[in-house]
């Protein structure tokens, strides 16, 4: 199984289009004002935006960046506002937090091998 896409809700997809394009996602479907979809520049995962009034419902979307600090600097220079700059976390990830125009929480991060193989990873039980 492979994650295909995450869909988030926001009231204005034009604002979302601008925001996610500035983050570097590549538009692949434009059915505004109801729906848009982007593909991530690395890999084949997609992110969709759906128009709606229920926003910021507790979902957090994580985007991994090979060079988080450089990405943070580029996006900050492009006008993207972050709520926290890149910081090292106790779970061995480096993260920067921001919110999209619909109030959805995003984390740009770098985890390297700790994303799937942290030192505390449990071993699968074979029966």
Structure-token pair, residue 62: 């994580």
Structure-token pair, residue 33: 């004002």
Q: Where are the domains of the chain?
A: 5-115
pLDDT tens-digit map of 35-58: 999 999 988 899 999 998 876 666
**CA–CA separation, 23 and 79 (whole Å):** 10
For the domain spanning 5-115, the CATH number is: 3.10.180.10
**CA–CA separation, 82 and 51 (whole Å):** 23
pLDDT means per 10 residues, the chain with 127 residues, are 81 95 95 93 90 74 94 97 97 94 92 87 72
């Amino acid at each position: 199984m492979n994650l295909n896409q995450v869909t988030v809700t926001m009231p204005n997809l034009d604002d979302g289009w601008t925001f996610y394009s500035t983050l570097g996602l590549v538009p692949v479907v434009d059915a505004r004002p109801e729906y848009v979809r982007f593909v991530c520049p690395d890999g084949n995962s997609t992110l969709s935006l759906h128009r709606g009034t229920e926003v910021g419902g507790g979902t957090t979307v994580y985007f991994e960046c090979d060079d988080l600090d450089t990405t943070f600097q580029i996006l900050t220079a492009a006008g993207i506002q972050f709520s926290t700059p890149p910081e090292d976390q106790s779970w061995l990830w480096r993260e920067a937090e921001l919110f999209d125009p619909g109030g959805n929480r995003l984390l740009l991060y770098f985890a390297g091998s700790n994303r799937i193989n942290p030192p505390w990873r449990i071993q699968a039980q074979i029966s």
